[in-house]
Amino acid sequence: MTTAVGSPKKGFLGWRMLAIATIAGSLTGPGQTIGVSVFINSFIDDLGLTRDQVSFAYLIGTLLGATAMPTVGRLLDQKGVRRGQLLIGALFGIALFNMSLVQNWLWLGIGFVFIRMFGQGSLSLVSTVTVALWFDRLRGRAMGMLGIGVSAGIAVTPILLNSSINQFGWRRSWLLASVIVPLVLLPLTWFALVDRPSAVGQEIDGGAATEEIVGPTKGVWGLTRRQALGEPGFWLIVTMTSLTSMLITGLNFHQIDLLEQSGLTTDEAARMFGPQIAGSTIAGFAVGWILDRTSGRRLPAVAMGLLAISHLLASSLSRDAFVLAYALSLGVTGGSVRVISATLMPKWFGTAHIGSLQGVLQLTGVAASSLGPFVLSVAQGRLGGYGSATLVLATLPLAALVYASVLTPPARAASPKASHV
């Protein structure tokens, strides 16, 4: 279907879309691991569950929630990000409301399915796709800004939720989140979000479209999902993103317990999510700047090295300086990988089918994140503590570093015929 274009909107709207995507990404906080982490002790105490049981429920819920991501990505390609975000925002609000009613392990697992599917999965996906559709030459910078804003918003979430739990209790805190998220997101999406530059007579990165009729994918190149799956570079991005998602999710999920065992109070442990903002901000600016000026070939290997360092620091949290360094390192790692994957995917494989490609990436990333809390919980139980467990887990990013060092990025493909795969 084509879209008639009259006079283009004055002023490039991409920066507004970036702001909306940042707000949407920040509102995923209650469905992200660091948001859920402040509720873990409440689940254990009030529902009579063990830490392993809660971790396993989170594993199953996250894994099942991830299965919807390829479908969500394909629908974003077909229906547009505006319709997608309206539907996702409404469903995420319902999922958050359901969490306030949880009574047992099964109900908790079902609740995890939907807050992970619609929050951490779908809403994050539509946020990234929105920016990818509006930027190309400036994509690294835009994705860096998105990563900074989203990281800041998400990092504030556990502080706000922990304060809410202390004041109102954990059930009312979920209820408040279920009201606030759609109340902010839905009107903003309805009145301000635009699917693509061509819909308002503009071009990617700014400028006016000169064609009287502009198709939704005119001038857009990109590999189909099937073609991308045959590229080693695609699996490099998947490996980097999945490992980071799994290992950082495990650390964030158990961060309160991990830092309490290192001598911090619960409130101090929750505030340690704050330094991650600084680390993520530094990474977002630096990595975005580098990606706008280079191929980004070496950055996946660098990211895996940072992930290994974060785990080595996590094994030695007996000193305050190490705790701060750990929090900063975790932020730098997460912020770097978020910008690298979000930028390299459209840079290497195009945007004609970006929703479908990001859907696969989101599926593997969310699925991997489901393993993180359970793997770390079991490892620290079997190995005698978090220190030994994080040392062993550090071998995974080190192996990925070697993998990233021997692969080369794909050559820019010629625009394939549009198809839905």
Bridge partners, 350 (sequence order):
222
Cβ distance 146 to 128 under 8 Å? yes
Say what the pLDDT of residue 10 is.
66
Q: How many CB atoms lie within 10 A of CB 293?
A: 9
Cβ distance 126 to 85 under 8 Å? yes
Joined tokens for residue 194: 């635009």
Q: How many CB atoms lie within 10 A of CB 87?
A: 18
User: Could you identify the residue written with the tokens 């006079």?
Assistant: 7
d(CA 350, CA 357): 10
d(CA 245, CA 337): 9
Which amino acid type is present at position 389? A
Say what the pLDDT of residue 192 is.
94
Hey, what domains does the chain have and what are their CATH numbers?
3-406 (1.20.1250.20)
Which amino acid type is present at position 192? A
Which amino acid type is present at position 362? Q
d(CA 389, CA 314): 9
Q: If you write DSSP's letter for every residue of 103-166 in order, what string do you get?
A: -SHHHHHHHHHHHIIIIIIIIHHHHHHHHHHH-STTHHHHHHHHHHHHHHHHHHHHHHHHHHHH
Bridge-based pairing state of the strands 3-4 and 213-214: antiparallel
Give the distance between the most distant pair of CA atoms in the chain: 68
The parts of the chain modelled with pLDDT lower than 70 are 1-10, 207-220, 266, 270, 273, 318-320, 411-421
- The pLDDT tens digits of the residues spanning 33-50 come to 889 988 998 999 999 999
Cβ distance 238 to 337 under 8 Å? no
Tell me which H or E stretch contains 214.
Answer: strand 213-214
